[in-house]
Amino acid sequence: MLTCGKGILLIISISQFRMYSTAWGYMKALDYATVLQSLEDRVAALESHEHDEAHDHHAALFSVSYSEGNSINTPDAVFVFDQVSLNREEGYNSTTGIFTCPIAGVYSFVYTSLPARGVETAVTLVRNNVKASSIYSDLSQGSTQSAERTELVLLAEGDAVWVKLEKGTVLRQQASLSFQGYRVSD
């Protein structure tokens, strides 16, 4: 008695045998030189094809954060993250804090904010000097809350994206400030 799994394997094996037998019959009828040349042409075409990073949807991606340190309270200060854990295609510049788009497409960006206690704060995602989105916080005195925002942005090659403090004060505690981005599609 066959169990369900063994029965399925037997059916697959019989199907493969029939398929190979049929294919072998056709192969006998063809000129081997023609078949061999066709296969060699296909292999040569595959070997000559170079991987095009522009079609790798996740070719450009980065993940950066701040280590612990002083708070940031300078308006319009670009966040220059000091911990770079991933920077494929080298789009993120750890000296300027700016991501320069290496491959055009739609990108997903995630950035965070940790406002100081009781301080009205705005952290902004900027694309080519234009505000793309913000995290706004206005919490009561003595309270703070970490926030995260995800934004989809269509970028052309060479477009610049960064995170800045628009107003208020943010804390740099336990990598609470971070910025990630990756290419989603063409």
pLDDT in tens, 10-39: 333 333 434 444 444 444 545 555 655 655
Helix (H) or strand (E) holding 83: strand 83-88
> Is-above-0.75 flag for pTM?
no
Which residue carries 């990073």 as its tokens?
Answer: 53
Q: Residue 17's pLDDT is what?
A: 39
Contact 163, 123 (CB under 8 A): yes
Tell me which of 70 and 91 has the higher pLDDT: 91
Mean pLDDT of all residues belonging to the chain: 79
Contact 117, 123 (CB under 8 A): no
Whether 43 has a pLDDT exceeding 60, the answer reads no
Q: Structure tokens of 61? A: 């991606």
Whether 110 has a pLDDT exceeding 50, the answer reads yes
Q: Structure tokens of 174? A: 């336990």
Please count the residues of the chain. 186
Q: Which of 42-56, 103-117, 137-151 has the lowest mean pLDDT?
A: 42-56
Tell me which residue of 96, 147, 140 sits closest to 124, measured CA to CA: 147
Tell me which residue of 156, 88, 82, 153 sits closest to 124, measured CA to CA: 153
Give the integer Cα–Cα distance in Å for 136 and 147.
9
Tell me which residue of 97, 89, 93, 113 sits closest to 182, measured CA to CA: 89
Whether 162 has a pLDDT exceeding 60, the answer reads yes
Residue 146 in 3-state DSSP? coil
Which residue carries 């075409």 as its tokens?
Answer: 45
Whether 74 has a pLDDT exceeding 90, the answer reads yes
How many secondary structure helices (H) and strands (E) does the chain include?
Answer: 2, 11
